[in-house]
Amino acid sequence: MKGDYLSYLKTKLDSRNYSRIEAIDNPRLHEFLADAVALCRPGTVWISTDSPEDVEYTRMMALKTGEETALEIEGHTVHFDGMEDQGRDREVTRYLVPENDRLSESLNQVGREEGLKEVRGLMEGCMEGRIMAVRFMTLGPNDSVFSIPCVECTDSFYVSHSLNLLYRLGYEEFKRLGQKAGFFSILHSCGKMDSRMVSCQPEKKRIYIDYTKDNVYSVNTQYAGNTVGLKKLALRLSICKADREGWLAEHMFLMGVKGKNGRNSYFAGAFPSACGKTSTAMLPGETIMGDDIAYFRAVEGKCMAANAESGIFGIIQNINRKDDPIIWEVLSSPNEVIFSNVLVKERKPYWMGMGIDMPGEGENFSGKWYRGKKDSRGSGINPAHKNARYAVMLNSLGNCDPELNNPQGVELSAIIYGGRDARAYVPVQQGFGWDHGIISYGASLETETTFAIIGKEGVSEINLMSIQDFVAIELGKYIKNNLDFGRKLDKPPLIFGVNYFLRDRRGEFLNGIRDKHVWLKWMEMRVHGEAGAIEIPTGLIPIYEDLVPLFKRLTGKDYARDDYAAQFTVRIPENLAKIERVERFHRQNVSDAPGILFEILGIQKKRLEEMREKYGDYVSPEKLRS
Ligand code: SPV
Ligand code: MN
């Protein structure tokens, strides 16, 4: 087939679909498609355009194939993933590394030739008798410096449907760009499916990232984080591209935070999965521009940011009418929503923490479910999976930011790094500057693994900038790129560290779920020079008096001095131990960690030791007011 890819495609596609491909003048694209068709041998190839009819066809086919089932409310459907396919699968997600290249040891990898042989072997003939949907989409707003065209071939109409909810349509962009489209490509197959249309060979699940070719293979899986290629698979490729081109691709939300006299400031935030990222981005009264992946570019000395996506694939557990009114509204009214891995009874979805009693039986990811049901290892099966999710378009939210599709992006005022740290970091603090913030909060981000990653929960780990799973370049290079990016800006965004998970000695959380809104408004005031701060060895923390009115207004609470003291006490032994863990991590895993990282951490350590000498192990913020 070498060479004449279009002629080959002509023999495999009907004339209507062929003409849609022929209309795109891009030989690399034709090569990718010809290879995908020859390898997977689909019964039919369907080329989607951006037309409403094609969008509707996907929606209809997701129901017709049985990958989704309609629920009671119009536009709502449910999809189930397999028992062993309920999250991103780190174990079988590997980078294909060519012989002459190397990646940090902490990244899961396999030799390119060996990996290609394996994954392509698994995909041989995998679409026989099925339709291969060819989807053209874009990351970032269309016709913009941020925009990256992507093509995904998939035999899943659930994946195709998810693409429509979460990303911008890109067929016209491919046509417009022609040979200029430097695109990412993804080839996905559900592999063998059982009678419920669920991938049923989890032991053959593979997600292999051919980062030197901007291509990804995903097989024997349906969970969107493994299959909707524009999400975490393309993020890995975006990081490589950003590295080559001098910008940043980040695992961050984007939101507009409102301040005095109706002003609006844009914030980005990096939080590992299930650490409060989406709930921060959705705080009522603010506007959401994205909840997962942001691109930053330095444009004329300004930090401009855009959302790579246009929808949300969010965790549904604990979403309830009272705490999450905006998304609750979307999930309970006629809208296009795909629920996944919830419990369904009489065509209604249920999830844990929704504030409504769960039925004792129904259908879930395990099939027919009843209270007390156990899995093959004898463990109880939850009615809904902890990582059950919803997929919606951002513009179905009442507070979607109006600049979502602005090709210029928005100017960023601040970046937040949020971990899950029971012991050391205060709930909110501001870095002393760009480098300090990047190192002390971003590169030091500690979390516990959660259910969003298969097989591990509650294990403490460092998750550098919350992006470590996706960094396909040397980790030290990635840190350096972040540090260097600040040098391109006239006034870099302020950097903050937050921690919603600090606990007291008895193990109780020191903060309420709504307190995050107070921290956010305090950060907004800092951006505009309207709040004071107290210097502690790890950053700048709020003054009690600035927080009192914010607590009253945003949570209705009279904020007690004792609460403030407990939350913002500098815990010196815990902070020293944290620095030790962070340094060890970087020494062991980041062979090329920039020297400035150890310098900044060393100075921080010294500041902590000096404070201990003066005040002892635990220092109340009240003592430090000057
Ligand atoms: C995350 O786990 O960080 C997510 C969901 O945003 S996934 O698509 O699985 O990556
Ligand atoms: Mn994410």
CATH of residue 317: 2.170.8.10
Would the pLDDT of 352 be above 70? Answer: yes
Ligand 1 atom nearest to 466, measured from its CA: 3
Would the pLDDT of 455 be above 70? Answer: no
Residue range of the domain that includes 536: 249-310+404-624
Ligand 1 atom nearest to 315, measured from its CA: 5
| Residue 547 neighbours by CB under 8 Å, 6+ apart | 518, 522, 559, 564
pLDDT of 527: 98
Q: How sure is the predictor about 448, in pLDDT bands with cuts at 50, 70 and 90?
A: confident
User: Which amino acid is present at 37?
Assistant: V
Do 466 and 597 reside in the same domain of the chain?
yes
Do 235 and 290 reside in the same domain of the chain?
no
Residue 79 lies in a domain: no
pLDDT of 418: 96
Residue 571 to residue 583: CA distance in whole angstroms: 18
Among candidate residues 203, 221, 245, the one where a domain is terminated: 245
Average pLDDT, stretch 198-219? 97
Residue 546 lies in a domain: yes
- CATH number of the domain to which 508 belongs: 3.90.228.20
Q: Which residues are catalytic?
A: 275
Do 108 and 160 reside in the same domain of the chain?
yes
Q: What percent of the chain has pLDDT over 70?
A: 98
How close is the Cα of 85 to the center of ligand 1, in Å? 13
Q: What's the length of the chain? A: 626
| Residue 350 neighbours by CB under 8 Å, 6+ apart | 342, 343, 344, 356, 358, 359, 362, 383, 384
Residue 206 lies in a domain: yes
Residue 65 to residue 77: CA distance in whole angstroms: 13
How close is the Cα of 387 to the center of ligand 1, in Å? 10
Among candidate residues 396, 424, 447, the one where a domain is terminated: 396
Strands 93-97 and 206-210: parallel
Q: Cβ–Cβ contacts within 10 Å for residue 195, how many? A: 8
pLDDT of 472: 84
Do 363 and 475 reside in the same domain of the chain?
no
Do 133 and 162 reside in the same domain of the chain?
yes
CB of residue 568 inside a 6 A radius of ligand 1: no
Ligand 1 atom nearest to 453, measured from its CA: 2
Residue 520 lies in a domain: yes
- CATH number of the domain to which 121 belongs: 3.40.449.10
Q: How far apart are the first and last CA of the chain?
A: 76
Q: What is the token pair recorded at 482?
A: 């972040």
Provide the H-helix boundaries in 13-106.
15-22, 27-40, 52-64
CB of residue 88 inside a 6 A radius of ligand 1: yes
Phi and psi at 321, nearest 5°, equal: -55, -40
pLDDT of 538: 98
Paired strand residues for 287:
256
Structural contact between residues 581 and 469, judged by C-beta atoms closer than 8 angstroms: no
Q: Which ligand has an atom closest to residue 269 CA?
A: 2
- For residues 606, 608, 612, 613, the Cα torsion angle rounded to the nearest 10 degrees is 20
Residue 77 lies in a domain: no
Q: Which ligand has an atom closest to residue 389 CA?
A: 1
pTM to 2 decimal places: 0.95
Residue 591 to residue 595: CA distance in whole angstroms: 11
Q: What is the token pair recorded at 191?
A: 């592999």
Q: Where are the beta strands (DSSP E) in 365-426?
A: 367-370, 389-393, 410-419
Q: What DSSP line would sit under 466-490, residue for residue?
A: GTGGG--S-HHHHHHHHHHHHHT-S
Q: How sure is the predictor about 107, in pLDDT bands with cuts at 50, 70 and 90?
A: confident
CB of residue 292 inside a 6 A radius of ligand 1: yes
Average pLDDT, stretch 512-517? 94
Do 159 and 92 reside in the same domain of the chain?
yes
pLDDT of 590: 87
pLDDT digits (tens, 9 = 90+) for 543-583: 999 999 999 999 999 999 999 999 999 999 999 999 999 99
pLDDT of 1: 59
CB of residue 293 inside a 6 A radius of ligand 1: no
Among candidate residues 373, 396, 419, the one where a domain is terminated: 396
Residue 4 to residue 144: CA distance in whole angstroms: 32
Residue 57 lies in a domain: yes
Q: Where are the beta strands (DSSP E) in 130-176?
A: 131-139, 148-154, 168-169
Residue of 247, 38, 3, 33 lying closest to 127 (CA atoms): 38
How close is the Cα of 453 to the center of ligand 1, in Å? 8
pLDDT of 591: 77
Residue 178 lies in a domain: yes
Paired strand residues for 208:
94, 217
pLDDT of 253: 98
Count of the separate structural domains present in the chain: 3
Residue of 275, 282, 213 lying closest to 517 (CA atoms): 282
Residue 431 lies in a domain: yes
pLDDT of 460: 80
Residue 257 to residue 521: CA distance in whole angstroms: 8
Average pLDDT, stretch 128-138? 98
Of 137-146, 224-233, 446-455, least confident by mean pLDDT is 446-455
Do 467 and 484 reside in the same domain of the chain?
yes
Average pLDDT, stretch 28-51? 98
**All residues with CB under 5 Å from ion ligand 2:** 292
Do 459 and 524 reside in the same domain of the chain?
yes
Do 284 and 301 reside in the same domain of the chain?
yes
Do 560 and 523 reside in the same domain of the chain?
yes
pLDDT of 456: 61
CB of residue 234 inside a 6 A radius of ligand 1: no
| Residue 152 neighbours by CB under 8 Å, 6+ apart | 134, 135, 137, 159, 163, 185, 186, 187, 188, 228, 229, 230
Do 184 and 253 reside in the same domain of the chain?
no
DSSP code, position 456? -
Mutate to test the pocket of ligand 1, among 232, 282, 385, 471 (most ligand atoms within 8 A of CB): 232
Would the pLDDT of 386 be above 90? Answer: yes
Would the pLDDT of 173 be above 80? Answer: yes
Do 157 and 123 reside in the same domain of the chain?
yes
pLDDT of 458: 67
Which comes out higher in pLDDT, residue 271 or 592? 271
| Residue 597 neighbours by CB under 8 Å, 6+ apart | 439, 443, 479, 586
pLDDT of 453: 64
Average pLDDT, stretch 114-129? 98
User: Which amino acid is present at 366?
Assistant: S
Strands 367-370 and 184-189: unpaired
pLDDT of 106: 75
